[in-house]
Homo-oligomer: A and B are copies of this chain.
């Protein structure tokens, strides 16, 4: 396993979906006050049902980009369509491939080609039934296209257990470190499915040696337009960051 001491842990935080400038700026302010640097927010949302909220689209992307600049935060959003790749590549710092599209190889090739030119980052989430081996193979669609800043993201796999939304495969962290040179992020909100489990999963991910953490936070979770139950409030998030900082320090690492 690669020597991880001293490697900072990147915290990627923000709401499930960008809902308004006001919503996103309150989250961005909290992130900046916590001394962190990345802001996430869904703009084009892939939803299981065609009748669910599908994201603000272009407008959401403009808000995300503007708020990122205003608060000096790097930004990340999911891309779900080859036709959006160019626009999203211009608007944010990192393009996310979601779990539903891990094996949408045409999208991966398009994102690989775009980011090979732009130098932007790519975050590749693991499919909910993908083996680690298939996930690493999918990442090669990006790297063979020339993408140079690819990060993998474990986000829970589908199992028989229903007490959580997905089963976080915490062992994916050391295994990816063993088999690949790519860094690995852990999305702790989607496997949890409920916010009170998020702190324990976030600490476990840090202790397991992750390179980044993705945490959903919303100024008013009960009124969120998507995934409300799993999002932390602003104050829960700030408190968790304090606890994670202490934990990281004990491991010779720091948050950014």
Contact = CB atoms under 8 A, between A and B. Distances in A.
Given A1-B196, A163-B132, A81 B82 contact: yes
A164 interface: yes
Contacts of A191: 171
Interface in A1-48: 1, 46-48
A222 interface: no
B204 A134 contact: no
Interface stretch (A68-76, A99-107, A234-242): A99-107
Most chain B beta-carbon contacts within 10 A, residue among A101, A133, A170, A171: A171
A211 B229 CA distance: 27
Given A100-B104, A144-B50, A197 B171 contact: yes
Contacts of A173: 200
A48 B47 CA distance: 24
8 contacts: A50-B105, A80-B106, A131-B162, A159-B169, A163-B172, A164-B171, A170-B201, A207-B207
Nearest first, the 8 closest Cβ-Cβ pairs linking A and B are: A129-B129, A250-B250, A207-B207, A100-B103, A203-B207, A174-B200, A204-B204, A81-B106
